Amino acid sequence: MSEFFTEVDEALKQERLEKLWKDYGSLFITFLAMIVLATAANAGYHAWIQHRDYKQTALYLDVLNKPAPAADDLLEILPKMTPGMKSVASMSAAGIALENGDSEKALSIYKSIHADPSQQKNNPLLSALAKYMITGLDKEISTEDKIKSYEAMAAEENNPWRFNALLDAALIEATQNNNYGKARAYLGRILAGNSNAPQGMKQKAQSLEILYQAQQSDNQ
């Protein structure tokens, strides 16, 4: 008897399945087709992205591998770059300009990076680095404004160059303002127990702290 009920149950299941397939079979096939097409499109898109990135990286490396690459060589290929590669190439161009002693060109490049809204949105860390470099290179920024700029950077917890900013502020106070007390205060923020400054940065700050402490004592 139990076998009879099992067969009836299976028959009902089969009947419901056939009814579902009759009612929704075409929709199911369409859905599967959409999944296949979406998967193929996604794979094709990623393949295109990889090919594009490969070409841009190769173009970038071709410039860097020249016997004497110039900043202008990298600036010329920027229009062909996506925002990410454009950031890398721009930063490299500024670095080459600095290595060649052309601080004005480097400053101009850093200003372009920082002023670019897409860079601020997509590459905030590089934009912050550009701001840091501008503060150090721009001769039109007064000493007071440089310190204010460094203080603003130091207050940004997510700014990876905040400790560099503190160190530069300390150097300005000591070497230009002869204010060793303020200089040591900036260094103290780097050396504080809760500071997560890199060890190399702490070593620099500690060396300057010893020097400025001695100089402060001599001036008293």
Are 216 and 180 in contact, with CB atoms under 8 Å apart?
A: yes
SS3 133: helix
Domain boundaries, given as residue ranges, for the chain: 55-141, 142-220
pLDDT in tens, 180-194: 999 999 999 999 988
User: For position 16, what pLDDT does the model report?
Assistant: 60
pLDDT in tens, 75-134: 888 888 777 778 888 888 888 898 889 999 999 999 998 888 877 777 788 888 899 999
Cα(103)–Cα(43) distance, integer angstroms: 45
Mean per-residue pLDDT over the chain, rounded: 79
Q: In this structure, what token pair is assigned to residue 177?
A: 């303002």
User: For position 23, what pLDDT does the model report?
Assistant: 61
Q: In this structure, what token pair is assigned to residue 59?
A: 């173009």
User: What's the number of CA atoms in the CB half-sphere (13 Å) around residue 202?
Assistant: 9
Q: Give Cα separations from 1 to 7, 9, 10, 12 (angstroms).
A: 10, 13, 14, 17
Cα(153)–Cα(161) distance, integer angstroms: 7
User: For position 52, what pLDDT does the model report?
Assistant: 60
Cα(176)–Cα(150) distance, integer angstroms: 15
φ and ψ at residue 156, rounded to 5 degrees: -90, 105
Q: Tell me: pLDDT of 61 over 50.
A: yes
